[in-house]
Amino acid sequence: MTDVPIAAPVVGDAERRGVSDVLDSGQLADGEQVRRFEREFADFVGTENGVATSNGTTALHAALEALEIGDGDAVLTTPFSFVATANAIRLAGATPVFADIDPETYNLDPQAVERILDERDDVEAILAVHLYGLPAAMAELRDLADEHDASLIEDAAQAHGATYRGEPVGSVGDAACFSFYPTKNMTTGEGGMVTTDDAEVERNLRRFVNHGRDQAGYEHVSVGHNFRMTNLAAAIGRAQLDRLPAFIDARRGNAAALTDLLEDADVTTPRVPTDRTHAFHQYTVDCDDRDALTERLDAAGVGYGVYYPTPIHEQPAYDGVDATAPAAERAARRVLSLPVHPQLSERDVYRVADAVRGVRVDE
């Protein structure tokens, strides 16, 4: 039995009141609650625009379409992420090209990106993932994108509240994509958001997520999808956004405590470059013997996750994809994520650390 789960969504009275108000209004689908959530989230991120979507994957797909990435284009991204990152590229009609990761941050290695860009002339975008809540090396990637006339997109699905050189993630690229899945730093149940400062990208986004409609009515100027968010989801999201700073503070506090407690443990704790702040969607350690560690955690009733056991280029759906990514493949064999969510008590944090260290605690 797992007594300390790997994730525990926090939903309270404010979220319930928001949902109840929407139910009472009768306006359950896309509407004013969504518009308010878009404005408030864009303000939080520091961008001119936010466009809500039905989930994080549709946010990624919509961003690629809005940037006019499609057939014949290549998008350079990481093989060490949830498969949605690469799937969205394929769904937009483009081809994912994988560069290896920095073994310390688990994010795209700018040197690996540069080598591929120097070899290919069909890369129209770089899709950088802020894995586990730690921003990628955005300054280097921005320079490379500009040098090669490529768009820069942030997959910030795990990084709500993180910063890069003092700027919130979601405000650095040409577009950025967030997920509000229940295990994320904030939730709408299911949902996503694309943020951007580009007015044309925003127009393209709004068309694409609403069947290609240019505005209200039945004039469809392009082909699109129904990727809209509902007022029900947006009402939850607005309440969650108010609480997000406290959620992030709690995650960072739990992460700091774990790092101190695991100083002498046989794991390598997360490393955070000085120019970034970590949102700690996951607290991920590197270990020599993951099987032994999972046995200790299981015995102590401590939840954990392996994100991700198989790099994308080794997934069956990507069979035949040519990629050289030894750092990603090594990480997939060694990483394990520990509970760090805001619901942890001080006692829970000690219990997690004791389990990692192999210290038996009698109940």
Band of residue 80 on the pLDDT scale cut at 50, 70, 90: very high
Q: Do 185 and 262 have their domain in common?
A: no
Token code pair at residue 111:
């040197």
Percentage of residues in the chain having pLDDT higher than 70: 98
Residues 105 and 249 in one domain: no
Token pair, residue 167, equals 């700027």
Among residues 176, 210, 239, the one where a domain terminates is 239
Give 315's pLDDT tier (boundaries 50, 70, 90).
Answer: very high
| Structural element, H or E, at residue 330 | helix 326-334
Q: Find the domain containing 306 and state its range.
A: 245-357
Indicate which CATH number applies to the domain containing 290: 3.90.1150.10
Q: Are residues 234 and 249 in the same domain?
A: no
Q: State mean pLDDT over 265-273.
A: 97
User: ∠ CA(299), CA(349), CA(161), 5° rounding?
Assistant: 125
Question: Predicted confidence band at 117 (pLDDT cuts at 50, 70, 90)?
Answer: very high
346 with 266, same domain: the answer is yes
Mean confidence (pLDDT) of the chain: 96
Number of H helices, E strands in the chain: 11, 13
pLDDT band for 282, please (50, 70, 90 cuts).
very high
Among 239, 274, 295, the domain boundary falls at 239
For residue 122, is it within any domain? yes
Over residues 131-168, the pLDDT tens digits come to: 999 999 999 999 999 999 999 999 999 999 999 999 99
Q: Is the pLDDT of residue 362 over 70?
A: no
**Distance set, CA 255 to CA 156, 270, 301 (Å):** 19, 9, 19
Residue 258 has pLDDT above 80, yes or no: yes
Q: Give the per-residue pLDDT at 361.
A: 56
Kindly report the CATH number assigned to the domain that includes residue 70: 3.40.640.10
Task: Tell me the DSSP string of 27-65.
Answer: --SSSHHHHHHHHHHHHHHT-SEEEEESSHHHHHHHHHH
Record the pTM. Answer: 0.96
pLDDT of residue 83: 98
Same domain, 145 and 266: no
| Among 209, 239, 269, residue at a domain's last position | 239
165-184 tens-digit pLDDT? 999 999 999 999 999 999 99
Question: In the predicted model, what is the mean pLDDT of residues 212-224?
Answer: 84
Domain count of the fold of the chain: 2
Together in a domain, 270 and 234: no
Considering the domain architecture, whether residues 97 and 54 belong to the same structural domain is answered as yes
* Same domain for 322 and 229: no
Examine residue 7 and state whether it is found in any structural domain, yes or no.
no
pLDDT at 363 (0 to 100) = 46
